[in-house]
Amino acid sequence: MKLLKTTTLVLCMSISACSSFYKDETAHIEKPAAPVPQIQADADKGHWWWPFSKGDKTVTETKAAAKAQELKVSQEWFELHEKAIREAVAGSKVQVERRENGLVLIANVDDSFNPDRAEMLLPSMLGPLGRTAKLVGQDEENGVIILGHTDSTGSEAVNDKLSLGRAKAVASIFRLSGMGGSRLVVRGLSATQPRADNASPEGRALNRRVEVLIQPRAMVLASLASLQAKR
């Protein structure tokens, strides 16, 4: 009986030692790292939204930026859309500019947003923006980039949130007209692209704005890459 107990004890000690030895020998072996999930840009968590590709966004931006300078809006596109869009905002304080990459509506914040609620549009803006959204939305080949801008007062974090919030308010009018997906992109640019000198009240008022870039849908990706390069 004593011999059996002794044999059992020796066997248990051997198993324990082998187990410890195995752990020591394998402790230095690195386990493969868990795959890192891809993080998609989100308008609610950053400055801008990139809805086009689930691949490497940096590579996509680089390719699109290379094409940005090559793409031009045709004269036929301007002739088809410019007159109607200008008529849609006629009588309002919304300005229309013709640029190489499309038509831009400019809504100055002081004329467009509630002074007591910084991200709420005034009722007077619903008509011109709604008519424009209906016109643009009728053509599936049109795309819209909505850009919020602030002046240089306030912290970067505050201006980021404010510029994106105002851009979203304008974008909501276009969504009501059925636009979405890759046809509608929203971005907050904070104070990075001023139109005037922030040293004066007049200049700061011009810089507080929302711009609506209307262009052929095929140009949206290149325009976003070009804007990103300017930040």
Map out the domains of the chain as residue ranges.
73-230
Reported confidence tier of residue 227, pLDDT bands at 50, 70, 90: confident
pLDDT for residue 224 = 84
pLDDT for residue 35 = 38
Lowest mean pLDDT segment, chosen from 12-21, 69-78, 112-121, 124-133: 12-21
Span 73-89, average pLDDT:
96
Residue range 73-230, CATH number = 3.30.1330.60
pLDDT for residue 31 = 37
For 107, list phi and psi in degrees, rounded to 5.
Answer: -115, 105
Token couple for 99? 């640029």
Q: Distances from the Cα of 197 to the Cαs of 49, 113, 194, 204, in angstroms? A: 28, 22, 7, 7
Span 201-228, average pLDDT:
92
- pLDDT tens for 15-70 read 444 444 334 444 433 334 333 333 233 333 334 343 444 444 454 555 555 555 56
d(CA 58, CA 39): 12
Reported confidence tier of residue 208, pLDDT bands at 50, 70, 90: very high
pLDDT for residue 104 = 98
Assessment of whether the complete model's pTM goes beyond 0.75: no
Sort strands 142-149 and 95-99 into parallel, antiparallel or unpaired.
unpaired
What is the average pLDDT value for the chain, to the nearest integer? 79
For 44, list phi and psi in degrees, rounded to 5.
Answer: -80, -10
d(CA 217, CA 215): 6
pLDDT for residue 69 = 53
- pLDDT tens for 154-203 read 999 999 999 999 999 999 999 999 998 889 999 999 999 999 999 999 99
